[in-house]
Chain A
Amino acid sequence: MFYREAGDFKTNYADDNQTFPIRFDRYRYYAVMLFAFGAVPFLINDYWVNAIFLPFLIYAIAAIGLNILVGYCGQVSLGTGGFMAVGAYACYKLMTAFPEISIFIHVLLAGGVTALVGVLFGLPSLRIKGFYLAVATLAAQFFLVWLFNRVPWFYNYSASGQISAPERTVFGIAVTGPNTTAWAPYLFCLVILTLLALVARNLTRGMQGRKWMAIRDMDIAAEIIGVNPLKAKLSAFAVSSFFIGVAGALFFSVYLGAVEVGEAFGINQSFLVLFMIIIGGLGSIFGSFAGAAFLVLMPVLLKNVLVGGLGWPTDIAAHLEFLIVGALIIVFLIAEPHGLAQLWRVAKEKLRLWPFPH
């Protein structure tokens, strides 16, 4: 009934190749975009931005980045936290060295720096695969965190080793620092997320994405049909690290405002983003959003229900949160091992046939 191609005629190739070829799907997408850009900025306050939307948007960027590497190219990475730290510190150094340049450019440049670092740590992927590669990227995680703790140049020789984001503006409106209005950082992150998601979507369904998927499915076969593993793997590392670097830069500058590398970008962060894409669905852009939403919003929601709604003690609520989120992860993965994205796909198939089951 809903997701039907029937009656949705295309008269040229461009229409046929668009991201959402089904009309209903396309309108739904427009509606979400309209709501996100047109309605949300007027409705939110500081709590909504800082506790819910900013972490969701930023983790969505990181999850898309990691999904490109793990989900599309099949290279397991546990270095996400470290790469986010590279983005954050690159952004900090750029922000403080060139205060007059727009923060938007700094964030993208920070992504670029991270891409270079990612390529460097991606080099071992040419020789090793699977678990062994995971260990190599784990080394990157620990090395990068150690480096930012050890070398005072990265944190401008501050006494505590903390980096904190000074106020920076886009078109004269503050998006970092304490004096922001709620909608400014939200829109800033949303614009970046939208741009990057479009890039990711089009990369993964084009030539480059097919090369990555060929490498993922069987690297020897891919090589035989003419995919250069060096280029494919390193480009996946570069693009993925770019996304993760941008996420790290936003995480530091817009969301937290002050970070300490070991605490904010530790191994937990790597696992969190990895869990997001596993729960959301490997090899799916929608899955990255769904996974990020699940792991960012569930704890906040549970906390509000248990502590705010039911008035339980905070420690019991915190422990229950772990239990419930953990149980839900297991339930979802048993119900659908391919993640929330697969649930969504199945739901779409069902809707397509509805109300006639056959």
Chain B
Amino acid sequence: MKLKFASMALGAVMAAAPAMADLVFPSLSYRTGPYAAGGIPFADGYADYFTLLNERDGGIGGVPARLLECETGYNTQKGVECYESTKGEGALVYQPLSTGITYQLIPKATADDIPIHSMGYGRTSAANGEVFSHVFNYPGNYWNGASGAINYLLEANGGDLSGKKIALVYHNSAYGKEPIRTLEELQKKHGYELSLLPVDHPGQEQKSQWLQIRREKPDFVLMWGWGVMNQVAVQEAANIRFPMENFIGIWWSGAEHDVLPAGDKANGYKALTFHNVGRDFPIFDDIQKYVVDTGKAAGAGDQIGNVLYNRGMYAAMLAAEAAKTAQEIHGTGEITASQMRDGMEALQIDEAKMAALGMPNFGPAFDVSCQNHGGPGLVGVTQWDAANKTWSLISDFAATDGEVIGALVAEDSAAYAAENNIEAGCK
């Protein structure tokens, strides 16, 4: 039995023989399961950007990009399978869009000399490039997010949060637990009261958490949610008539599909972001012309311009720019994963570059360096307008509390280095 299956599987694997001479970007996506609502637009944006590059520019630096999509279902076991099945094809960079899978891939990919870009998720202390040589999480991470939310609240309350009550509703997993330490540190500094409300996977059941919020009446609620958990939370908040403008989600809790089910009651809900929202960028004309009109749009093609679509596109743009940088550094079109890593470490994104790509003011300008894999950590706030069904940016991309975050990053990465016998330092 086992042998029969094995030989059949062998045949199937052999059928998909690797084709070289292109730049392989694996997309560990999830279009099924409880997190698909967020996975689909991101995967579409990621895929469409590479399609655009191939159609319009003939690839990156003249070498066509090839997207290898692999369905993970947000499940770590399938993530391992996807990683192993795609790495042999010359994968340049992994973007698993899952904190759990990122944690798993960090040691593996480092050993295999393949970079990981966990943009706004994953292990926050990977910002310390001296320890995490192959992991990048620019332009912002969860701790920037936590600090950004507190800064925003500080600003809204005249610089004083002492005595205010803040509740954190979080996905009870590595992802949701990430901001806790930062919020606790900031609690010491700013004197607010923090209460923690974990929500178990997948997050459909939140009655007791919101009952507690109704009882304790916190002034502000922060949320670290993903997938179906977001819309349930927004609906529950609406049900207990919690003022939406005091409810702030992380960037993974602020997309159209999260707020639409609650209808008008979701009006005013806020979410953090590290890139711009909306369709008001020249690049969307190109996407329409080269991708949509030629019938090459990924998925159903109905996600274009959504918050998470933009994020997927942004992730693809950063990957493509890093590949270009790597091509320049090494003087070759067909870069390897190791050269891609060098490109990511030397990546420079400025206003002129983004404008040339048709994405003016789409994200912050930043430089990556060996010491800092985390970028500047600038955080903006978006707000949902239920009448027009649009998200709009209501603040500038503001700096976060680097002092507190820097100390936490140093502490956590030192612990990782000690656990795994890594000698910190730049090559």
Contacts and interface: CB of A to CB of B under 8 A. Distances in A.
Given A263-B76, A300-B81, A305-B12, A161 B104 contact: no
Given A159-B177, A262-B200, A305-B12, A257 B104 contact: yes
Given A257-B107, A308-B13, A315-B31, A293 B71 contact: no
Contacts of B19: none
B163 to A, nearest CB: 27
A13 interface: no
Contacts of B8: 301
B420 A161 contact: no
B15 A308 contact: yes
B108 interface: yes
A50 B201 contact: no
A297 B4 CA distance: 11
Interface residues of B, number: 58
Interface string B379-410: 00000000000000000000000000000000
Interface string B1-28: 1110110110011011000000000000
B15 A318 contact: no
Contacts of B421: 167
Contact of A178 (B111, B174, B419): B111
A163 to B, nearest CB: 10
B29 interface: yes
Contacts of B104: 256-258
A46 B71 contact: no
A266 B172 contact: no
A177 interface: yes
B100 interface: yes
A162 B16 CA distance: 34
A241 to B, nearest CB: 22
A351 to B, nearest CB: 15
A301 B70 contact: no
Contact of A51 (B81, B172, B181, B412): B81
Interface string B293-325: 000000100000000000000000000000000
Contacts of B106: 258
Contacts of B1: 289-290, 293-294, 340, 344
A161 B196 CA distance: 15
Looking at A52, A158, A159, the one whose CB has the most chain B CB atoms below 10 A away is A159
A178 B70 CA distance: 22
Contacts of B110: 178
B212 interface: no
B334 interface: no
Given A51-B80, A161-B177, A177-B107, A304 B12 contact: yes
B12 A309 contact: yes
Given A256-B104, A260-B100, A166 B80 contact: no
Given A162-B174, A305-B12, A308-B13, A318 B32 contact: yes
Given A52-B9, A256-B77, A160 B177 contact: yes
B279 to A, nearest CB: 24
A175 to B, nearest CB: 14
Interface residues of A, number: 54
Given A178-B110, A314-B31, A160 B123 contact: yes
A108 to B, nearest CB: 24
B83 to A, nearest CB: 8
A263 B79 CA distance: 12
Contact of B6 (A52, A294, A307, A340): A52
Interface string A44-64: 011100111001100000000
A264 interface: yes
| A35, A161, A258, A307 pick with most chain B CB within 10 angstroms | A258
Contacts of A162: 100, 103, 174
Interface in A255-286: 255-260, 262-264, 266
Contacts of A297: 2, 5-6, 9
Interface in A277-330: 289-290, 293-294, 297-298, 300-301, 303-305, 307-309, 313-315, 317-319
B5 A166 contact: no
Contacts of A298: 5
A208 interface: no
Given A51-B85, A305-B12, A318 B76 contact: no
Contacts of A259: 76
A47 B88 CA distance: 8
Contacts of B177: 159-161
A289 B1 CA distance: 9
Contacts of B377: none
A298 B6 CA distance: 10
A262 B111 CA distance: 27
Contacts of A178: 107-108, 110-112
A149 interface: yes
A191 B119 CA distance: 41
A167 B421 CA distance: 10
A266 B74 CA distance: 14
Contacts of B111: 178-179
A263 B201 contact: yes
A164 interface: yes
B162 interface: no
Contacts of B174: 160-162, 260
> By CB atoms of chain B within 10 A, which of A293, A315, A319 has the most?
A315
Contact of A164 (B9, B77, B107): B107
A257 B108 contact: yes
Contacts of A260: 76, 100, 103, 173-174
Given A47-B88, A289-B2, A318-B31, A263 B173 contact: yes
A130 B16 CA distance: 47
Given A50-B81, A262-B173, A263-B76, A304 B16 contact: yes
Interface in A132-165: 149, 158-162, 164
Interface in A55-87: 55-56
Contacts of B71: 303, 307, 314-315, 317-318
B9 A50 contact: no
Interface of B: 1-3, 5-6, 8-9, 12-13, 15-16, 29, 31-32, 36, 40, 69-71, 73, 75-77, 80-81, 84-85, 87-88, 99-100, 103-104, 106-108, 110-112, 123, 125, 172-175, 177-178, 180-181, 198, 200-201, 299, 412, 415, 419-421
Given A301-B8, A313-B299, 7 more contacts: A51-B81, A160-B175, A256-B77, A263-B201, A304-B9, A308-B16, A318-B32
Q: Which 3 A-B pairs have the closest CB atoms?
A: A315-B31, A308-B16, A304-B12
22 contacts: A35-B3, A51-B80, A51-B85, A159-B180, A160-B123, A162-B103, A167-B420, A167-B421, A178-B112, A257-B108, A258-B103, A260-B103, A260-B173, A297-B5, A301-B5, A301-B9, A304-B13, A308-B12, A308-B85, A313-B69, A315-B40, A340-B1
